[in-house]
Amino acid sequence: MALLPSSFQGRLQKMEETRNQRLSLLQAEKELQSKKSQLVNEKLSNIRSMEQRCFMLEQINASLNFKILGYKSEFERIGVNYQKDAQQFRDLKCEVEEIEEREKEKDGYYEMKRLEMEEFKEHVRRCVCEYRQKVGKTRKIIDELKSSLKEFQSKDEYMNNSEIAVEEARKAEFLLMKANLDKSLASNYRLQTQLQKQLYQILMSQEQERRNLNQSS
C-alpha cells in the first residue's frame, strides 16, 4: 500500500478529530437531554404529587366544612333547646313562687282559723263553766225548794190561816223560782246545743276549705 501524502493524512486526522468532537458533543447533548427528561419527569411527578395533595386537602376541607355545618346546626339546636329550657325554668320558678305564696296564704289562713278556734273553744269552756256553776246553784235551789215544800206539807195541818197564806205565798214564790230556773236550764241547754252545732259547722267549713285549697294547689 502506497503511503498517503502527509497533507492528506493531516486532513484525515483533522476529520477524525472533528468526528470525535462531534461524537463527544452528541454524547454530551444526549446526556443533557436525558438529564432534562429526568428533571421534567421529576417535576411532573412532583406536580402529580402536589395535585394529589391538593385533592386530599380539598377533600379534608370539604369534610371539615361539612363537620362545621353539622356543629353549627347542633349549636343552633342547642341554643333553641336552651331558650326553651330557660323559659320552662322561668315558668317553673313563677309557679313555685305562686305555690309558695299560696302556701304562705294558707298558713296565715290556718293560723287565723286556729286562733279563732282557740278563742271559740275558750269561750265555750267559759260558758260551760258558767253553766255548770248555774246548774249547781240551780240544783241547790231546787233541793232547797223541795225541802221547803216537804216541810210545808208536813206543817200544813198545824198552821192557821195567816201562816197558811204566808206559806202559800212562799210556795208560789218557790214555784215561780223553779219555773224560772227550769227556763234558764232549758235556755242554757239550747245555747250549749247551739254552740256545739256552731263548733261542728266551723270544723266542717275548715275541712272543706282545706280540701278546696289542696285541690287548687
Per-residue model confidence (pLDDT) at position 87: 92
Per-residue model confidence (pLDDT) at position 1: 42
Torsion on CA atoms 23, 24, 28, 29, rounded to nearest 10: -30
For 141, other C-beta atoms within 10 Å of its C-beta total 15
Q: State the pTM of this model.
A: 0.37
CA atoms of 62 and 124, how far apart (whole Å): 90
| Residue 174 CB contacts under 8 Å (≥ 6 apart), including other chains | 145, 148, 149
Q: Where are the domains of the chain?
A: 40-216
Q: How far is CA 30 from CA 15, 20, 33, 194, in A?
A: 22, 15, 5, 137
| Residue 128 CB contacts under 8 Å (≥ 6 apart), including other chains | 192
Per-residue pLDDT of the chain (217 residues; tens, 9 = 90+): 445 566 777 777 888 888 888 888 888 888 888 888 888 888 888 888 898 988 999 999 999 999 999 888 888 999 899 999 999 999 999 988 888 888 888 778 778 877 877 887 787 778 778 777 877 776 777 677 667 666 665 655 544 555 556 666 766 776 777 677 677 777 767 777 777 777 777 777 767 776 776 666 5
Q: Which three cell numbers stand for residue 162?
A: 195567816
Per-residue model confidence (pLDDT) at position 56: 92
User: Please, what's the b/e burial string for 23-57 (b: 16 or more CB within 10 A of its CB; e: otherwise)?
Assistant: eeeeeeeeeeeeeeeeeeeeeeeeeeeeeeeeeee
Of the candidates 121, 118, 203, 96, the residue with the CA atom closest to the CA atom of residue 211: 203
CA atoms of 92 and 140, how far apart (whole Å): 69
